[in-house]
């Protein structure tokens, strides 16, 4: 079972590295119904109540947010279980539709889904096109480096000339490039490849989400790599995405999320899926904002 979970972890993290940090590719796409759907988005909550069902998009491939455990045909994960609880408290049925990460936001624009949940980072670009709930996950970026010398990196400025492993269109690659790093792109490989290459010197660093990297290191202890002990930067938050202007739906979901925050449900779910860590609250650490980089 542990081997199966490890495989899911590596696959899910690989997909996360390749896609989930995307700076917005595919977000503006829509079909011919997109404009009409956007103009009627304020009636979205009324439509959902009338149908008695909310249709939510997710990938089903992103551990530990949205995935299938080995041997199970039932999807689970932090995001999935949050959405199940939200729908239950809203008094509507929940139907999940699975999409590739780059197809989730266009599916909202086209009206094929009512909302999306898949560890979606709230960015300024996305806020111009979509409405977001209050955050249910708070995180920040960290970097995996070699244990022996921290890959020669003491500050973010030391990324200049270093080799960063990861997708070339991700937010994390944008951060690395901003500080002068060379991006070493990969195809769809498992997460152990990223860690192995930092260990053997093919690359120097992998920037990614703190919680995801923590889980990767726990699952793959055979490599002499670690999280950088001093560098914590680019605070992020994840939220449920809805059509632009869906104010009533946004209000109803926010009310439920606040209830779940107050009664400890978000904390309980986070600890279940993030190794005992509470991602539902803003981190107490001093997280460095990156100036001069518009994400």
Looking up residue 29, the CATH number of its domain turns out to be 3.40.190.10
In whole angstroms, how far apart are CA 152 and each of 64, 139, 149, 156?
31, 25, 6, 11
106 domain-assigned:
yes
Could you tell me the pLDDT band of residue 274, with boundaries at 50, 70 and 90? very high
Residue 284's contacts (CB-CB under 8 Å, 6 or more residues apart) are none
pLDDT per residue as tens digits for the range 117-128: 998 889 888 899
User: What domain count does the chain have?
Assistant: 2
Both 118 and 12 in one domain: the answer is yes
Closest CA to 97 of 55, 69, 132: 55
Task: Kindly tell me if the per-residue pLDDT of 201 is higher than 70.
Answer: yes
Residue 211's contacts (CB-CB under 8 Å, 6 or more residues apart) are 139, 274, 277, 279
Both 106 and 242 in one domain: the answer is yes
Task: Kindly tell me if the per-residue pLDDT of 156 is higher than 90.
Answer: yes
Both 128 and 243 in one domain: the answer is yes
- Position 21 scores a pLDDT of 47
- Position 41 scores a pLDDT of 64
157 domain-assigned:
yes
Contact 201, 149 (CB under 8 A): no
- Position 221 scores a pLDDT of 94
280 domain-assigned:
no
Task: Kindly tell me if the per-residue pLDDT of 10 is higher than 60.
Answer: no
Both 7 and 113 in one domain: the answer is yes
- Position 89 scores a pLDDT of 98
Contact 145, 155 (CB under 8 A): no
- Position 27 scores a pLDDT of 43
Both 75 and 125 in one domain: the answer is yes
Strand partners, 237: 138
- Position 132 scores a pLDDT of 98
Both 147 and 101 in one domain: the answer is no
Task: Kindly tell me if the per-residue pLDDT of 18 is higher than 70.
Answer: no
Domain that holds residue 168: 138-234
Both 124 and 263 in one domain: the answer is yes
Taking the model in full, what pTM does it have? 0.76
Mean pLDDT, range 44-48, rounded to an integer: 96
- Position 148 scores a pLDDT of 97
Both 176 and 250 in one domain: the answer is no
290 domain-assigned:
no
For residues 151 and 149, give the distance between their C-alpha atoms in angstroms, rounded to a whole number.
Answer: 5
281 domain-assigned:
no
Task: Kindly tell me if the per-residue pLDDT of 2 is higher than 50.
Answer: no
Mean pLDDT, range 80-84, rounded to an integer: 98
């Amino acid at each position: 079972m542990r081997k199966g979970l490890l495989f899911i972890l590596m696959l899910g993290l690989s997909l996360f590295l390749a896609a989930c940090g995307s700076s917005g590719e595919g977000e503006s796409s829509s079909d011919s119904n997109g404009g009409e759907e956007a103009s009627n988005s304020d009636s979205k909550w009324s439509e959902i109540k009338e149908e008695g069902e909310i249709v939510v998009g997710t990938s089903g491939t992103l551990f530990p947010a949205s995935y299938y455990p080995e041997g199970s045909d039932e999807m689970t994960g932090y995001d999935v279980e949050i959405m199940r609880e939200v729908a239950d408290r809203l008094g509507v049925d929940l139907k999940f539709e699975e999409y590739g990460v780059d197809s989730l936001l266009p599916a909202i624009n086209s009206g094929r889904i009512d909302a999306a949940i898949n560890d979606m980072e709230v960015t300024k670009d996305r806020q111009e096109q979509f409405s977001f709930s209050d955050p249910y996950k708070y995180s920040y970026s960290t970097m995996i480096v070699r244990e022996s010398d921290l890959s020669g990196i003491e500050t973010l400025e030391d990324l200049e000339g270093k080799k960063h492993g990861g997708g070339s269109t991700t937010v994390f690659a944008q951060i690395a490039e901003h500080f002068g790093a060379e991006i070493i792109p990969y195809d769809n490989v498992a997460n152990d490849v990223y860690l192995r290459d930092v260990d053997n010197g093919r690359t120097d660093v992998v920037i990614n989400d703190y919680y995801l990297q923590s889980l990767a290191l726990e699952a793959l202890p055979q490599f002499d790599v670690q999280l950088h002990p001093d560098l914590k930067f680019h605070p992020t938050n994840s939220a449920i995405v809805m059509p632009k202007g869906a104010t009533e739906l946004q209000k109803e979901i926010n009310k439920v999320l606040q209830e779940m925050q107050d009664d400890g449900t978000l904390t309980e779910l986070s600890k279940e899926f993030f190794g005992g860590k509470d991602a539902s609250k803003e981190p107490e650490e001093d997280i460095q904002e990156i100036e001069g980089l518009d994400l």
